[in-house]
Amino acid sequence: MSTSVAVYRNIYTEDRFRQTFGTEAKPSGKTRLRETLSKPCRCSRETCLHLLKERVPIFSWLPKYRLRKWILGDTVAGLTVGILHIPQGMAFALLTSVAPIYGLYTSFFPVVLYMLFGTGRHVSTGTFAVVSLMTGSVVEQLVPTPPALNSSSIEAGELEAQRIGVASAIAFLSGVMMLCMFGLQLGFLSTYLSEPIVKAFTSAAAFHVTISQLQSMLGLRLPRYTGTFSLFKTLASVLENLPHTNLAELLISLLCLAVLIPIKEVNTRFRQRLRTPIPVEILTVIIATGVAYATSLDSTYDVQIVGHIPAGFPRPRLPALQTVPDIAGDTVAITFVGYAVSVSLAMIYADKHGYSIHPNQELLAHGISNTVSSLFTCFPSSATLATTNILESAGGYTQLSGLFTSLVVLVVLLLIGPLFYFLPKAVLACINVTSLRQMFLQFQDLPDLWRVSRIDFMVWLVTWLSVVVLNVDLGLAIGVVFSMMTVVCRTQRAGCSVLGRASNTEIYRPIDNHNKCYEVPGVKILTYNGPIYYGNRSFFKADVNQLLGLTPERIRCREKARKALEKREREAISTVEREVANTSFSSENSDFFKSEMSENEVQAVLIDCSSVIFVDVAGAKLFIQMCVECQKMGVRIHLANCNESVLKILTSSGLMNYMNPQHIFVTVHDAVVYIQQQREKPSENTMIWV
């Protein structure tokens, strides 16, 4: 069915539209500032309750908890994740270069605190491989492992205390940074770690984790390399020491991988059919511990075991705060990675289940979790990919599942922990490697990414190569900088197009892409698809000059002709009577423009600012410069579709001193109709018909 639209209205300039449809003047800046500052200071019972529910979300969702509907799912999911936390916590502690018991502590305290302050219903916090790897690199730099260290000596105990002191200091400083970011409402900063950056970074970090675990899987006693090219240094060291492989630990690793990989694949493929995933990690830990105890693998075959795991809670103590100047730079990267991954996971599952999370509140939750946990000898924590996925697939509904997760870890801390004395470290290394399955599978996204956006594909590739070749921290920084440079380059090269009108419509489209849209005679309509600021003003000016033919020689020629015309006008006025002079001037003026300007030559330039999201001072000065140059050419400048911020900056910069305020229009078609009517017959009451 064919439909049509007919509109008959006045032509609207910005001033006229504002007078007709605009709102009343806003209060002054001082008044708005006073209201903004006084609003949070108003104290009432309702305000206090609202603030409490907003900052401690458990008081908001717990009274609305549907006990009969949700309790079973939260219980099953929480217990399942708690069982997984035990082996993963001990395994990721090895990545952090601290004793396994500290991984159990980090799997308990952050879970409880996030349950109180977090907004993600399906987020599981605790130890995360990438964050643990980054923390371990800093720990190894400040407290390196001395050669030929006896694990049962007093020096080993002192070394362990120093290492957990540094790791706790990183967690403390990371938490303080997040709390400061919360105070400044900087939750939006996580958006600078785009999805291609996060996926490439975690995928590349998975290679670092895998290579770092080879020595434990092969039973080699090698130093841990840090800094640039650490992955290749570690790999070269492992290959060089392959003849010294402990065959018993190699066999243990192969058996564990043969069990873990297939069963985890079954858990993934049959996730919808299985009520809960098969707890293969904890079963492997229990069986390996029993076999190692029964056969005395540590003494008979020199197999590295976990060793003593103390029962009970750790005593609160301050981290090694004297190391803060040395860890500050690395902690910034750890903070951003942990927060970005946590918020990304929370948003994914929030979108899937139809609720919202609050990035700034997530800053508060993870900031409190890291700060308080660091006082109980915990290293940095964040949301984790594997346990969050399991929590959601096991049927979790709310943050209450964290209570059951923490109860499982609590039982292990108080009662069962010492029983893992004979657990081989090779088993934990295998658990580390197999937990990275999701990160390695992110390579499957590359073909789709190439098809959708090749720029994002390049961001992914550059980030991945930088992290793998150089280092985790430096690679992440390069990825972020490269991503931001692509944005800057795209705004610099936004491109200026000439618009043409579709016949008998008010629709204007680029003539390069629409061959049935035609330019309006005598009017050059330009549009720029980006902001106009100091970074791209020269590109914008070059595009406009090319499209309008504004060369210095042509401007000088036209200006010279205009001055000659003015001189003839003054001479005519001084030699003849005024009436005759006016008649003579009108004839000369007409003859001049007939000779200098053809019918189809540009007499007016209209700039469509609908895609110009902002203009800075440099961009505003460029508009003034263009007005001056066009006036020298005898060409008038008109603007259309300016947003409020752009119009305000242009006006404040003095543009109205160089162009008529009545030449700024609401739409492109308003401006075109006005220009055409002015050329034909000027009229005060002009109308538009479409």
| pLDDT of 589 | 47
20 burial class (0-12, 13-18, 19+ CB within 10 angstroms)?
exposed
Structure tokens belonging to residue 375:
């006082």
Q: Tell whether the model's pLDDT for residue 578 goes beyond 80.
A: no
Residue (of 146, 99, 148) closest to 306 by Cα position: 99
Residue-wise pLDDT for 287-340, tens only, equals 999 999 998 888 888 888 888 888 888 889 999 999 999 999 899 989 988 998
Q: Tell whether the model's pLDDT for residue 394 goes beyond 70.
A: yes
| pLDDT of 504 | 83
The answer to whether residues 368 and 111 touch, using CB atoms and an 8 Å cutoff, is no
Alpha-helical runs (H) found in 356-434: 359-374, 385-393, 401-411, 425-434
Four-point Cα dihedral 256, 262, 263, 268, nearest 10: 130
| pLDDT of 439 | 84
Q: Pick the most confident of 163-172, 483-492, 639-648.
A: 163-172
Q: Which residues of 584-615 are buried (b: 16+ CB within 10 A; e: fewer)?
A: bbeeeeeeeeeeebeeeebbbbbbbbeebeeb
Confidence of residue 595 (pLDDT cuts 50, 70, 90): very low
Share of residues in the chain with pLDDT > 90 (%): 36
Confidence of residue 227 (pLDDT cuts 50, 70, 90): confident
Residue-wise pLDDT for 123-140, tens only, equals 999 999 889 989 999 998
Span 162-178, average pLDDT:
95
> Which amino acid makes up residue 260?
L
- Among 178-182, 221-225, 553-557, whose mean pLDDT is lowest? 553-557
Structure tokens belonging to residue 554:
């042509």
Confidence of residue 459 (pLDDT cuts 50, 70, 90): very high
The answer to whether residues 555 and 629 touch, using CB atoms and an 8 Å cutoff, is yes
* Pairwise pLDDT comparison (169 vs 10), residue with the higher score: 169
| pLDDT of 594 | 45
| pLDDT of 385 | 82
Q: Tell whether the model's pLDDT for residue 656 goes beyond 50.
A: yes
Q: Tell whether the model's pLDDT for residue 653 goes beyond 80.
A: yes
Four-point Cα dihedral 223, 229, 232, 238, nearest 10: 0
Q: Tell whether the model's pLDDT for residue 63 goes beyond 70.
A: yes
Residue (of 220, 110, 132) closest to 432 by Cα position: 132
H/E/C letters for each residue in 504-554?
CCCCEEECCCCCCEECCCCEEEEEECCCECCCCHHHHHHHHHHHHCCCHHH
- Among 392-396, 464-468, 517-521, whose mean pLDDT is lowest? 392-396
Confidence of residue 600 (pLDDT cuts 50, 70, 90): low
Residue (of 213, 102, 212) closest to 165 by Cα position: 102
Alpha-helical runs (H) found in 143-296: 154-183, 195-218, 230-240, 247-269, 280-295
Span 647-654, average pLDDT:
90
| pLDDT of 690 | 56
| pLDDT of 220 | 87
Q: Tell whether the model's pLDDT for residue 481 goes beyond 60.
A: yes
| pLDDT of 37 | 58
* Pairwise pLDDT comparison (458 vs 302), residue with the higher score: 458
Span 147-168, average pLDDT:
77
Span 544-561, average pLDDT:
76
For the chain, give the number of residues.
Answer: 690
Computed over its alpha carbons, how large is the radius of gyration of the chain? 35
Q: Pick the most confident of 18-32, 172-186, 547-561.
A: 172-186
Q: Tell whether the model's pLDDT for residue 687 goes beyond 80.
A: no
Q: Tell whether the model's pLDDT for residue 564 goes beyond 80.
A: no
| pLDDT of 31 | 57
Q: Pick the most confident of 119-123, 388-392, 590-594.
A: 119-123
Alpha-helical runs (H) found in 394-524: 401-411, 425-434, 437-440, 446-452, 454-469, 472-492
Work out the angle at residue 255's Cα, subtended by the Cα atoms of residues 252 and 261, and round it to the nearest 5 degrees: 130
- Among 47-51, 262-266, 450-454, whose mean pLDDT is lowest? 47-51
| pLDDT of 363 | 93
473 burial class (0-12, 13-18, 19+ CB within 10 angstroms)?
buried
Q: Tell whether the model's pLDDT for residue 472 goes beyond 60.
A: yes
Structure tokens belonging to residue 342:
């946590």
Q: Tell whether the model's pLDDT for residue 550 goes beyond 90.
A: no
Q: Give the contacts of 457 (CB within 8 A, at least 6 positions apart).
A: 196, 446, 449, 450
- Among 162-166, 192-196, 617-621, whose mean pLDDT is lowest? 192-196
Span 3-19, average pLDDT:
80
| pLDDT of 288 | 93
Span 376-401, average pLDDT:
88
What's the whole-number average pLDDT of the chain? 85
Work out the angle at residue 136's Cα, subtended by the Cα atoms of residues 328 and 304, and round it to the nearest 5 degrees: 160
d(CA 277, CA 392): 11
Span 92-105, average pLDDT:
92
Confidence of residue 688 (pLDDT cuts 50, 70, 90): low
| pLDDT of 193 | 78
Confidence of residue 592 (pLDDT cuts 50, 70, 90): very low
Q: Tell whether the model's pLDDT for residue 538 goes beyond 60.
A: yes
Residue-wise pLDDT for 73-90, tens only, equals 899 889 989 988 999 899
* Pairwise pLDDT comparison (292 vs 635), residue with the higher score: 292
| pLDDT of 689 | 57
